[in-house]
Amino acid sequence: MSALVIGLASTAPAYSLAVVIGSIVAEVGPQAPAVLLASFVPMFLIAAAYYFMNRADPDCGTTFTWVTSALGPWAGWVAGWAICVTGILVIPSLAEIAAIYTYVLFGLDGLFESTVAVIALTVGYIVAATASA
């Protein structure tokens, strides 16, 4: 149940969906499309809100900017760092999922089960993403 909640509420829906799709189908069976639709609606509304807020203020998606405006510079600074730390903690887990699914996609079951191989590809994905940024 917690994997489903994380999957529906995450800011990285594609990875979350890849991780929890099996759990969704196992838990709700034929109602899985309804669950996916229910998770799409809030994400769509949030995206629409950001679209319209960005038209009014280009910095509206920046946590630091909005929290600073509402609660002051100290709270904005803490919120900005919280987003940064969250990214540092989440990106390795997302890269690990990508590595595992890469091995599964290519049928490399021996590498899929190897911790060293998964970590190596995970680091490779992080390095590639960092280099491209």
Mean pLDDT of the chain: 81
Domain segments of the chain as ranges: 1-60, 62-133
Query: Of 55, 23, 54, 51, nearest to 39 (Cα)?
Result: 23
- pLDDT at res. 117: 95
Output the six-digit token pair for 102: 């890469």
Q: Please tell me the predicted confidence (pLDDT) of residue 93.
A: 86
Residues of the chain with pLDDT under 70: 1-17, 60-61, 133
Percent of the chain with pLDDT over 70: 84
The predicted model scores a pTM of 0.52
Give the residue ranges of DSSP H helices in the chain: 2-9, 13-28, 32-56, 63-71, 73-105, 109-112, 115-132
pLDDT at 115: 93
